[in-house]
Amino acid sequence: MTHSLLRSVRHGCYRESRMMSGAIALMLKTHRLRQTWTRQIHAYIAISNFVKDKFIQAGFPASKIFVKPNFVDPDPGERSCSGDYALFLGRLSPEKGLSTLLAAWERLPSPVPLVIAGDGPMRQRLEAEVARKGLHWVHFAGQLRHAEKYDAIKKAAFLVVPSVWYEPFGLVVAEAFACGTPVLGAFVGSIEEMLDDQVTGLHFAPGDPDALAKKVAWAWEHLPELAAMGKAARRVYEDRYTANANYQLLMNIYASAIDNHSGFKRNQLLQAAV
> For position 190, which CATH number holds?
3.40.50.2000
Q: Is residue 220 part of a domain?
A: yes
Please indicate, yes or no, whether residues 171 and 218 belong to a single structural domain of this protein: yes
* The pLDDT value given to residue 269: 43
Q: Is residue 51 part of a domain?
A: yes
Please indicate, yes or no, whether residues 135 and 218 belong to a single structural domain of this protein: yes
Strand partners, 186: 204
Q: Is residue 267 part of a domain?
A: no
Please indicate, yes or no, whether residues 232 and 246 belong to a single structural domain of this protein: no
159: left (phi over 0), alpha (psi -120 to 50) or beta: beta
Please indicate, yes or no, whether residues 62 and 150 belong to a single structural domain of this protein: no
Total of domains in the chain: 3
Please indicate, yes or no, whether residues 63 and 134 belong to a single structural domain of this protein: no
Please indicate, yes or no, whether residues 48 and 7 belong to a single structural domain of this protein: no
Least confident stretch, 14-28, 100-114, 138-152, 177-191:
14-28
Which of 93, 91, 160 has the alpha carbon at shortest distance from 122? 93
Express each pLDDT in 160-204 by its tens digit. 999 999 999 999 999 999 999 999 999 999 999 999 999 999 999
Which of 224, 247, 116, 231 has the alpha carbon at shortest distance from 177? 231
Q: Is residue 272 part of a domain?
A: no
Q: Is residue 183 part of a domain?
A: yes
Please indicate, yes or no, whether residues 46 and 145 belong to a single structural domain of this protein: no
Cβ neighbours of residue 151 closer than 8 Å, sequence gap 6 or more: none
Instruction: Please tell me what DSSP assigns to residue 144.
Output: P
Least confident stretch, 4-13, 162-171, 219-228, 249-258:
4-13
Please indicate, yes or no, whether residues 136 and 56 belong to a single structural domain of this protein: no
Q: Is residue 274 part of a domain?
A: no
Find out whether 175 and 76 touch, Cβ atoms under 8 Å.
yes
Q: Which domain holds residue 47?
A: 41-71+242-261
Q: Is residue 78 part of a domain?
A: no
Please indicate, yes or no, whether residues 21 and 138 belong to a single structural domain of this protein: no
Express each pLDDT in 14-58 by its tens digit. 888 999 999 999 998 998 898 888 888 889 999 999 999 999 998
CA–CA separation, 188 and 164 (whole Å): 7
Share of the chain above pLDDT 90, in %: 82
Please indicate, yes or no, whether residues 203 and 147 belong to a single structural domain of this protein: yes
Q: Is residue 80 part of a domain?
A: no
